[in-house]
A and B are shown apart, each in its own frame.
Chain A
């Protein structure tokens, strides 16, 4: 084993890359859950976004168009979930599972012609001067645009939820949908928009995996990141800043695990590869005692009877 082969600067830089898809998907899901809807279809929307983004950027040669397409794809798929849960009043757990199963199949079908192709490279945003600072420059100022977008989005969601009227309405719908309805807010309308926002974020996160992190297309490549994103929202007690913290923690674990594999540590590869999932379970266990922060209407079906 050669631990000195692990470069701490690159480790932190790649940690941020690994954390970004998780961050994007979790922030989206956080907004959905704050509106009182539990969408378990994150994995399905992510993988659909991954292939939409990949296919479009290969066809157009522009990663930017690809990312837009991924957001569109994710949002479009989430509309199916919105229809099932908000209009057909179906069980949210079952509908979310359906979305994941459907998304996995759909992405495999769409991705048939794209196996083994390299996508166009996304340019790194080497910020002049700042990126030349030793160590810090590489870690903080030398990434792609989407990574910064993810952090900015977290900040925007935080401000929106905490300080604006829109956020207040969203939280009201999530905490008590009957009261929000009585006050004249459109519960279904707010939730559909939230679900689509979640879908777009998950799609973007998926495309980040297929276009930047890996970058190639393989079937089922999200490998449970969507589910970890769901766990992260619980971990974060439905607070945006803690989602950021959690995403970096999980990004760190998955990167460290890969680095240890490469460094040839004496633990078999399979056991290292298990670690992110086991850590997720441990984190869920340590934080599940306090459920008081969960939106009160989470997962409940809203039906305005007269």
Chain B
């Protein structure tokens, strides 16, 4: 009979090993899925994980990797702070949209003036927009004890409607011949987040790296980071040591909202370019997987974000080269989280095989 025995301390070795094993198991299960869809599994896995990095056209895909990873890492870093403290912001998609709308709104308002001040203003507006959107579940939780999971998620749907309303109304391009969608911000020199579009660098990547470093410092060298970890791992101890839960909730939700808002703002002013109905592509939800896959650790999140970006790009390649359906990649990403959570049992428990004893 299989028995689980709780480890006195979570195993360090297993906590590093499980994400790696989860990725390998997902590749195998994914291969089976692709085979079931009538594709050559080896070919499909190689197209997704190998070709974008080392294949014939890798010089084109490698910069793409950073473009996709930047928003994922930026959002996941924010989410991981809350997840560590047991505060579940799962509405990052909504904060991403609102941040993009606020940032783009500032940029569009100044069109066609050129000034070095416009972009910094857009950054501030984007961050504030995401922050404010996340403050709604934050304040409601602190004031009324409302469940932040449900409120932040409901606000995703509200934000999507807001996006549609903006793309079709207020922010519609007056020179767009009646098509929905705003002016293209990546053509507007003072407002674009591209540093150099040809080599595929934008400010969101810089922001993601800075966020990783700051989160690392916060969690390891600052009392606030210590309190966050303490609240998650030992809530009673945190209470006795005087951690104010309300402040922690507002900080975690606010930070994750601001980072998601920034991610949206960098995206709308760069790779995406315009406010359009289908602007959001689910980064806010994929970032949840990234945060867990990275073990809620800043460096881990950076690696996990790159891996998840790889599945996006490889998935697109597999779509055009092998005719693999887009949804297959979504299933693949979902499976990864499943295997990760299932294998995580090894971090906290030992598995013992023993004969069933009778009392």
* Residues of A participating in the B interface, judged by any CB pair closer than 8 Å: 40, 80, 83-84, 88-91, 93-95, 97-98, 101-106, 108-109, 112, 219, 223-224, 227-228, 230-231, 234, 268, 270-271, 273-274, 277-278, 280-281, 284-285, 288-289, 291, 303, 305
A3 to chain B, nearest CB (A): 23
Question: A227 CA to B88 CA in the complex, in Å?
Answer: 15
Q: Contact between B6 and A277 (Cβ–Cβ < 8 Å)?
A: no
B113 within 8 Å of A (CB atoms): no
Question: A224 CA to B325 CA in the complex, in Å?
Answer: 24
Q: Contact between A98 and B334 (Cβ–Cβ < 8 Å)?
A: yes
Q: Which of B157, B344, B348 contacts A277 (CB 8 A)?
A: B157
Q: Which residues of A contact B288 (CB under 8 A)?
A: 97, 101
A96 to chain B, nearest CB (A): 9
Question: A19 CA to B343 CA in the complex, in Å?
Answer: 39
Residue of A with least CB distance to B338: A98
Q: Contact between B335 and A303 (Cβ–Cβ < 8 Å)?
A: no
A181 to chain B, nearest CB (A): 14
Known pairs A101-B285, A105-B334 / 8 extra A-B pairs, C-beta < 8 Å: A83-B342, A84-B338, A88-B344, A90-B341, A228-B154, A231-B150, A231-B154, A274-B161
B359 to chain A, nearest CB (A): 11
Q: Which residues of B contact A274 (CB under 8 A)?
A: 157-158, 161-162
Known: A223-B157, A284-B151. A98 touches B341 (CB 8 A): yes
Residue of A with least CB distance to B167: A270
Question: A88 CA to B18 CA in the complex, in Å?
Answer: 13
B245 to chain A, nearest CB (A): 15
Q: Contact between A230 and B150 (Cβ–Cβ < 8 Å)?
A: yes
B155 within 8 Å of A (CB atoms): yes
Q: Contact between A285 and B140 (Cβ–Cβ < 8 Å)?
A: yes
Question: A280 CA to B155 CA in the complex, in Å?
Answer: 10
A187 to chain B, nearest CB (A): 14
Q: Contact between B147 and A234 (Cβ–Cβ < 8 Å)?
A: yes
Q: Which residues of A contact B342 (CB under 8 A)?
A: 83-84, 88, 90
Q: Contact between B150 and A112 (Cβ–Cβ < 8 Å)?
A: no
Q: Which of A94, A109, A277 contacts B158 (CB 8 A)?
A: A277
Q: Which of A88, A281, A305 contacts B140 (CB 8 A)?
A: A281
B5 to chain A, nearest CB (A): 8
Q: Which residues of B contact A223 (CB under 8 A)?
A: 157
Q: Contact between A288 and B348 (Cβ–Cβ < 8 Å)?
A: no
Which among B88, B165, B329, B338 has the greatest number of chain A C-beta atoms within 10 A? B338
Question: A3 CA to B226 CA in the complex, in Å?
Answer: 58
User: Interface size bucket, B side?
Assistant: 35 or more
Q: Which 9 A-B pairs have the closest CB atoms?
A: A105-B330, A102-B334, A108-B327, A270-B165, A109-B327, A105-B331, A90-B341, A98-B337, A88-B345
A185 to chain B, nearest CB (A): 16
Question: A93 CA to B149 CA in the complex, in Å?
Answer: 9
Question: A208 CA to B332 CA in the complex, in Å?
Answer: 27
Q: Which residues of B contact A98 (CB under 8 A)?
A: 334, 337-338, 341
Q: Which of B145, B164, B169 contacts A288 (CB 8 A)?
A: B145
Q: Which residues of B contact A91 (CB under 8 A)?
A: 341
B194 within 8 Å of A (CB atoms): no
Q: Contact between A101 and B289 (Cβ–Cβ < 8 Å)?
A: yes
Residues of chain B from 159 to 182 with CB closer than 8 A to chain A in the complex:
161-162, 164-165, 168-169
A52 to chain B, nearest CB (A): 15
A270 to chain B, nearest CB (A): 4
Q: Contact between B155 and A281 (Cβ–Cβ < 8 Å)?
A: yes
Question: A103 CA to B327 CA in the complex, in Å?
Answer: 11
Residues of chain B from 304 to 359 with CB closer than 8 A to chain A in the complex:
325-335, 337-338, 341-345, 348-349
Known: A101-B289, A270-B165, A274-B158. A80 touches B150 (CB 8 A): no
Q: Which of B4, B155, B165 contacts A89 (CB 8 A)?
A: B4
Residue of B with least CB distance to A110: B327
Residue of B with least CB distance to A227: B153
Q: Contact between A284 and B331 (Cβ–Cβ < 8 Å)?
A: no
Q: Which residues of A contact B292 (CB under 8 A)?
A: 94
Q: Which residues of B contact A94 (CB under 8 A)?
A: 292, 337, 341
B146 within 8 Å of A (CB atoms): yes
Question: A274 CA to B161 CA in the complex, in Å?
Answer: 6
Question: A93 CA to B150 CA in the complex, in Å?
Answer: 12
Q: Contact between A40 and B149 (Cβ–Cβ < 8 Å)?
A: yes
Q: Contact between A93 and B338 (Cβ–Cβ < 8 Å)?
A: no
Q: Contact between B333 and A305 (Cβ–Cβ < 8 Å)?
A: no
Residue of B with least CB distance to A228: B154
Question: A40 CA to B147 CA in the complex, in Å?
Answer: 12
B228 within 8 Å of A (CB atoms): no
Q: Contact between A105 and B348 (Cβ–Cβ < 8 Å)?
A: no
Q: Contact between A93 and B88 (Cβ–Cβ < 8 Å)?
A: yes
B104 within 8 Å of A (CB atoms): no
A249 to chain B, nearest CB (A): 16
Q: Contact between A89 and B348 (Cβ–Cβ < 8 Å)?
A: yes
Q: Which of A80, A104, A271 contacts B161 (CB 8 A)?
A: A271
B197 to chain A, nearest CB (A): 31
B90 within 8 Å of A (CB atoms): yes
B240 within 8 Å of A (CB atoms): no
Residue of A with least CB distance to B153: A227
Q: Contact between B154 and A280 (Cβ–Cβ < 8 Å)?
A: yes
28 CB contacts below 8 A, A to B, read A40-B149, A80-B338, A84-B341, A88-B341, A89-B345, A90-B342, A90-B344, A90-B345, A93-B149, A95-B341, A101-B330, A101-B333, A102-B337, A105-B334, A106-B327, A109-B325, A109-B328, A112-B325, A219-B327, A230-B150, A231-B154, A268-B165, A270-B165, A273-B161, A284-B140, A284-B151, A288-B147, A303-B4
A275 to chain B, nearest CB (A): 9
Q: Which residues of A contact B169 (CB under 8 A)?
A: 268
Q: Contact between A224 and B164 (Cβ–Cβ < 8 Å)?
A: no
Q: Which residues of B contact A112 (CB under 8 A)?
A: 325, 327
Known: A93-B88, A101-B289. A109 touches B337 (CB 8 A): no
Q: Contact between A224 and B154 (Cβ–Cβ < 8 Å)?
A: yes
A161 to chain B, nearest CB (A): 22
Residue of B with least CB distance to A85: B341
Q: Contact between A227 and B154 (Cβ–Cβ < 8 Å)?
A: yes
